[in-house]
Structure 1
C-alpha cells in the first residue's frame, strides 16, 4: 500500500523534484518504507511505499516501463496479479520485480485504458504515457483507495490525500459552502466535492485522461454494479455459492510478505472473514477487537466467543472518553468535513492492531451486499404504514411530539417521529430522512441567510445516484445507492484514513469484485425475508457460526457520544462550538445551537448531531483558522 503525488504545469515552467518531495512528505505515513520522485520537465510524479509484496528495492516507485515510455505512481493491491503476470510473460513482457505494480503497468501497455476490466482489487494510480501524451488516472470500483486532484486550467495536481495538494502555492484554500451544506445532511462530503473549492475526488469506478496536447480533462465511468441478472437458485444452492465465493475472496487477501491479521467485532461479517481465514491458515489467526466501558456499545464478549471458536490469537483494546483529546488531530487527518463518530474507535483499533501486524482483513460491505442495515427494514415497514390514513398518522405524530416535550428525549421518540414524517415523502427523500442528520428544511431554518446563498438541496446528490437504478426492485435500488454513496464516501474514507495514518493496510474480502457481482444476482427477497436482514447469508453460515452470533441484535460501530456529551465533553463542546468566535456559530443561528445542545444532552439523547458540528468546527480550525 502506498501514497502517490503528482503535478503537471502548462505554463512552460518546470516541475522540480523539491515540489514533489514536499508533497511526498505530507503523506509519508501512507508509505514509510520508501519514497521516490520522477520529473520530466513540466511533469512530476511521486510515491511513498508501504511494502507488502516484494519487499526488495525492485518494487521502487514511480516505476518506469522497460521501453521508458510509461511511468506509474501506484497505490493499492491487485489480488490475482500473478495470473495476469503469467499471461503477460507469454506475450514477451519481461519483469524485474515480484510486485503487482509492474503487472498493472504492463497491463496498461498491452490493453490501454481497457486494462481496468482486468483488475480485481483496491487501487488509485496514475500513469504518464509519454507516447500518447496523456496522464491517465483511475480509482477502484468501490472507492477503497482515494485519488484527489486540483485543476485550474494551468496546473493539474493529484495525490492520495488533500494535504499534499494543499502544499502547492497554486492552490488557494477556500471553503466550498455546498460541500459543508451537504455534510450537515450526510456526515460526509459526497463526491466529487471535498470541502475545498477546485479540489475534487475522483469517484469510484471512474478514470480520468488529461490530454497534454490540448489541456482537456475527461472523466468517465468504467464499471457499474448490475442488479438485473438474477439467479433463481434454491436457498441451499445460494448458501454454497456464498461460502465458496467468500472463501475465495478471503484466501486471495491472505497473500502477504508481512504479518497479517483481522479486525473482529463479533458481528456476522467480520466473523465470516475470520472463519474463512482460520480454515485457510495453518497458524492461529491474529484477531483484534475494540470495546467500551459503556455496555450498550461493547461487543467484546461476542468477539471473544468467535475467537475461542476458531482458536485465534486474540487481542483487545478499550476506548475511553479521555481519548477525545486526539479528536482534533484525527479530524485534521480526514482533511474533508467528516463526522462519522466511528472514526475514533476505528483509528484506535488500527493503531492497536499495527503493533502486531501490517495487514488486517475486515468485514466491510456485508451490510451493503446482504441488506444488513436496520434502515432497510424500516423502509420495508414504511411501505406497509403508508396504507394508514394520513389524518391518523398526523394525530400520532402530534401525540409523540407532546410526549417528547415532557420527557425531553430525542432518541427513540424522535426516530418514530422521523419515520412518520417520512411516510409522505417520495422514495429517496424518505431514505434520506432515515440516514441523514439535518434535512434541507432544517438547514434552511438554522443556517444564517448569508451562508445559504446559491446552495442546492443536498437531496439532489442521492437522487442522482438513485436515478441510475430506477429499473430495479426497491431494495436493489437502495443497495445500489449505498454502494455508490455511503460505502465509498463514508465507510471507505473512514477505514483508509484511520489505517493509513498508522501505516496499516486494511483489506475487505467482501468487496472482492467477483463476490460483489455474484451477490448482486441474489433475489432481494432472499436478503430481507420476513423481517430478517441478511437472511440468506445467515442461513449459509448455519453450522459455521453459532446462532448467538448470527441472530444477535446488530450494534453497529459507534461511540457513546450522548454519554460523553452529558459528561466529560459537555464544557468542551460549549467552549469549542457554541462560543461566539467559532465557525459553527457564525453560520448557524445561536438560538438553534443552544436548543440543539439542550436536547442532545438530555437523558436519552444520542449526541450525534453535536458530534457532527464538533467535527465541522475542528475541521475549520485545522485548515482555515490562522
Structure 2
C-alpha cells in the first residue's frame, strides 16, 4: 500500500518550485502512516509551470529499492512515471504478456507491471486490472503534450481525492493529505453534514470539505496542460443472467471455483498474512477454503470480543471464532475490548478519521488492525460478502415487504404505532431481534424505494430526502445495488482502508476479487434471496464442514456502546453539549442529542448507532473546525 501526493501549479501560481516541493513534502509527511517503508518525490514540466509527484510506500510485493516510487520506466520514445497505491492480483498473467512484448523487469513488484502496461497499452488496460488501486501516472513522449492519468479501482477499495484551487490542482490518498499542503482552503461542506446525519457518510463525489472531491470507483481523470480535464469510466455495464441460465448446482460450482482462485490470489505477499475471523459465514468460509486448498499458507486469525455481560449489546464473535480456528487448525489471536480499553482511546481514534463515518466499526477496526499489525502486514477481510450475496437483515426484510406490500399498506398505521411497545432499548433476552422488528416498523412507507432508504438511515433527524421511484427499476435489485454503490464503498471500504493504513496494515477483500464479484453482480437480487440470505455461501460452508456457523444469528462487527451509555461510562463524550462555543452547536441544536440520550438511558429506545454517530462527529468537528 502507499500514499499518493500530487500538485500541479497553474500559470501565474505564486509559489516557486522550492515552495511547491515543500508543500508536497508536507503532504507526504501527513500520509507517512500509509507508506512507512520508503518515500520519494519528483518534479516535471507542466506547460509553462510545474507538476510535483510524491509517493509513500508500504512494501508488500517486491521489497527491494527497484520497486520504490514514484517509479520510472521507458518504452521506445515514451517515458512514464507512476505513483501507485494498491495490489494487483493478476499481475503474474500481465507480467508474462509484457515479457512477450519485450519488457525486461528489474523488480518483482506489481507496480512495475502496471507501469509497463500503461506505457504499452494505455488507459485501455485499466479494465483488465484485477485488484484494488488508486494511481497517478505521468507520461511524456518526445514533443507531444504530456498527460496525467488518475484512476481508481472499480469497487472503490482504494481512495483518491482531488481539488482545484485558484492556482493549483491537487490529489492525494487522504483528505488530510490535501489539507497538509497549505494550498487548500479548509471549509466545512454543511450539505454533507446533513447527509451524514441521515445516512452515516458523505455523498460521493462530495466530501466534508467544500471543493474537495472523491474520484468515483471505476473512473479516471485525464489532464493535459492547457486543456480541460476529462473524466470517464472503464467499467463495462452489467447484464443480469436470465432465469434459464441459473442452475443451482452450476452456480455453486462456479462460485466455489472463483472463491478458491480469489483466495489464492489474495495470499500473494512477501510479508506475513492474517485473517480477520468473526466465526460468521463469510470469514469462516474463507478459513475453511484456505485449510483445504492452501494449508501450507494458513493465515494467523484475529478476532475481537467483549465481556459476557455485554453480549446482548455487543457480539459473541470471539466464541465462534475460537471454535472455527480450532476446527480448521489455525492460530487464533483474541483481542478483548472492554469499556476501559475502548473508551480511554475513543477521542484519539475519533480524531484519526479522515472525514466522519458514523460506524462503531471504525473504533473496533482500528484497535483490531493495530493488534494485528504487530504480527502481520497483510490481513484478509470478509468485507463485501453481505452486499454481493444479499446478507443483511434489511435485504430479506425488504423482500418480504415487497411480497406483502398490499397487506402492509393496509396495516401501516397499526404497524408504526405497535413498534413503540417493543423493548429494544433494554437489556432483555432477544434484544437484537426486538430492535430489528422495531426498526422495520418505524421505517415502513407506501413507497418501496423510500422504505429501503429508511432501512439504511439513522434516526437523528426525520427520515432522509424522498427516494425517487425509478421508472422500470426492480425495487429489490435497486436496493441491493444501492448498498453496493453507497454503503459498501462510502462506509465499509473507506473505513477498512483508513483503519488498516493507520497502522501500516494492508487490508484485502477476497469477496471483491474481479472475476468473483463480476459474476455475482450478474445474479439477480431475487435469485440471491430465493434460498435465504447468503444461501450460496452457506451452502459452500456446509460442504466444508461448517454447518453450525450457518445457523448462528448475524451480529456484525459491533461494540456494546449502547450498554456503556446506559451504564454512564460514556458521560465524558457528551460534555460538548454544555460547551456554548462548540462548533457543532451552529449546525445541530444540542436539544436533539440530549433527547436521544435521555430516551436511550431510560431504555425507551435503542439509539446506539445514532449516539455513536454524534460522538464521532463532535470529536471530528472539534478537531477540524474548533
Which residue of 440, 457, 462 corresponds with 1:419? Answer: 440
1:306 pairs with 2:324: yes
1:593 counterpart SS class? helix
In structure 2, what is the Cα distance between the partners aligned to 1:283 and 1:154? 51
Report the 3-state secondary structure (helix = DSSP H, G, I; strand = E; otherwise coil) of the residue aligned with 2:86: strand
User: Within the alignment, does 1:24 sit opposite 2:28 as a pair?
Assistant: yes
**2:225 matches 1:219:** no
Question: Map of 1:226-265 to 2, 5 A cutoff?
Answer: 226-230=238-242, 232-265=245-278
Q: CA deviation at 1:584?
A: 2.9
C-alpha distance in structure 1 between counterparts of 2:229 and 2:351, whole Å? 29
| Higher mean C-alpha displacement, 340-349 vs 271-280 | 271-280
CA distance in 1, matches of 2:423, 2:282: 36
How many angstroms does 1:108 deviate by? 1.0
Unpaired stretches in structure 2, ≥5 consecutive residues: none
Partner residue of 1:452? none
Q: In the alignment, what sits opposite 1:522?
A: 523
Which position in structure 2 is the counterpart of 1:376? 395
What residue is the counterpart of 1:113 in the other structure?
123
Match of 1:154 in 2: 167
Could you list the per-position Cα deviations for residues 320-378 of structure 1 after superposition, in whole angstroms to 9, with x for gaps in the alignment?
22222322232232221211111111111111111111111111111111100000111
Match runs of 1:150-229 below 5 Å: 150-152=163-165, 154-214=167-227, 216-223=228-235, 226-229=238-241
SS at match of 2:36: coil
Alignment-derived partner of residue 56 in structure 1: 64
Q: Give, in whole Å, the separation in 1 of the partners of 2:418 and 2:473.
A: 37
1:373-412, aligned counterparts within 5 Å?
373-388=392-407, 390=409, 392-401=411-420
Alpha-carbon contact 2:200-2:458 (below 8 Å) kept? yes
In 2, are the aligned partners of 1:408 and 1:602 still within 8 Å (CA)? no
User: In the TM superposition, what is the alpha-carbon distance from 1:624 to its structure 2 partner?
Assistant: 1.1
Quote the offset at 1:234 in angstroms.
Answer: 2.4
| CA distance in structure 1 between the partners assigned to 2:409 and 2:262 by the alignment | 48
* Distance in 1, Cα, partners of 2:380 & 2:410: 51
| In structure 1, distance between residues paired with 2:253 and 2:283 | 19
Does 1:335 find its partner at 2:354? yes
1:7 paired with 2:7, answer yes
**1:21-170 correspondence runs (5 A):** 21-41=25-45, 42-66=50-74, 69-131=79-141, 132-152=145-165, 154-170=167-183
Post-superposition offset of 1:58: 0.3
Separation (CA, whole Å) in 1 of partners of 2:522 and 2:334: 37
Change (3 A) 1:175 1:306: same
Identify the match of residue 292 of structure 1 among 279, 282, 306: 306
310-319 or 151-160, which deviates more: 151-160
The structure-2 alpha-carbon separation of the partners of 1:118 and 1:283, relative to structure 1 and needing over 3 Å to count, comes to closer
How has the CA–CA distance of structure 1 residues 408 and 518 changed in structure 2, closer, same or farther, with 3 Å as cutoff?
closer
- Would the aligned equivalents of 1:133 and 1:213 in 2 still touch at CA under 8 Å? no
User: Residue in 2 aligned with 1:454?
Assistant: none
Distance 1:406 1:162, change over 3 A: closer
Secondary structure at the aligned position of 2:94 is classed as helix
Secondary structure in 2 matching 1:76: strand
Q: Distance in 2 between matches of 1:390 and 1:474?
A: 16
In structure 2, the CA distance between the partners of 1:160 and 1:139, relative to structure 1 (3 Å rule), is: same
Greater shift in the superposed pair: 580-589 or 106-115: 580-589
Number of aligned positions between the proteins:
603
CA shift for structure 1 position 535: 1.4
For the residue of structure 2 that corresponds to 1:180, the secondary structure is: helix
Asked whether the 8 Å contact 2:458–2:610 carries over to 1, the reply is yes
SS at structure 1 position matched to 2:597 = helix
Q: Which residue of 1 aligns with 2:451?
A: 430
| Residues 109 and 567 of structure 1, relative CA distance in 2, 3 Å threshold | same
611 and 577 in structure 1: CA distance in 2 versus 1, 3 angstrom threshold = farther
The correspondence of residues 452-491 of structure 1 with structure 2, limited to 5 A, is: 458=465, 473-491=474-492
Determine the structure 1 residue equivalent to 2:565.
565
Q: State how 1:582-601 maps to structure 2 within 5 Å.
A: 582-601=582-601
Instruction: Note if contact 1:289-1:349 (Cα within 8 Å) is conserved in structure 2.
Output: yes
Instruction: Spell out, residue by residue over 1:136-194, the C-alpha distance to the aligned partner (whole angstroms, 9 max, x if none).
Output: 10111111111011112531111101111101232111000111110011111121111
Alpha carbons of structure 1 residues 90 and 472: separation in structure 2 relative to 1, 3 Å: farther
More moved, 611-620 vs 131-140: 131-140
Contact 2:156 2:493 in 1 (8 A): yes
Q: CA deviation at 1:556?
A: 0.8
Distance 2:180 2:344 in 1: 26
What residue number does 1:451 align with? none
Q: Is the 8 A contact 1:211 1:217 kept in 2?
A: yes
Once the two structures are TM-superposed, the CA of residue 502 in structure 1 deviates from its matched residue by 0.3
With over 3 angstroms needed to count, the CA separation of the structure-2 counterparts of 1:413 and 1:315, relative to structure 1, is: closer
SS of the residue 2:180 aligns to? coil
Q: Deviations over 1:451-479 (max 9, x none)?
A: xxxxxx6556xx6xx95xx6564333222
**2: distance between equivalents of 1:7 and 1:486?**
30
Aligned residue for 1:388, secondary structure, equals helix
CA contact (8 A) 1:8 1:43 kept: yes
Question: Distance between the aligned counterparts of 1:240 and 1:264, measured in 2?
Answer: 24
Secondary structure at the residue paired with 1:96? coil
Match of 1:542, SS state, is: helix
Secondary structure of the 1:138 match is strand
Q: Secondary structure at the match of 2:25?
A: helix
Please give the per-residue CA displacement for 1:461-512, whole angstroms capped at 9, x wherever unaligned: xx6xx95xx6564333222211111111000011101100000111111000
Determine the structure 2 residue equivalent to 1:556. 556
| Cα distance in 2, alignment partners of residues 100 and 402 from structure 1 | 57
- Secondary structure in 1 aligned to 2:407? coil
Go from structure 1 to structure 2 and tell me whether the alpha carbon gap of 1:71 and 1:458 turns closer, same or farther (over 3 Å shift): farther
Aligned to 2:74, the other structure's residue is in SS state coil
Inter-partner Cα distance in structure 2 for 1:525 and 1:515: 19
Q: Which ranges in structure 1 are unaligned for 5 or more consecutive residues?
A: 443-456
Normalised TM-score (structure 1): 0.91
Could you tell me which residue of structure 2 aligns to residue 447 of structure 1?
none
Matches of 2:284 and 2:338, distance apart in 1: 25
Aligned-residue RMSD, C-alpha: 2.5
1:35, 1:202 → 2: CA distance? 23
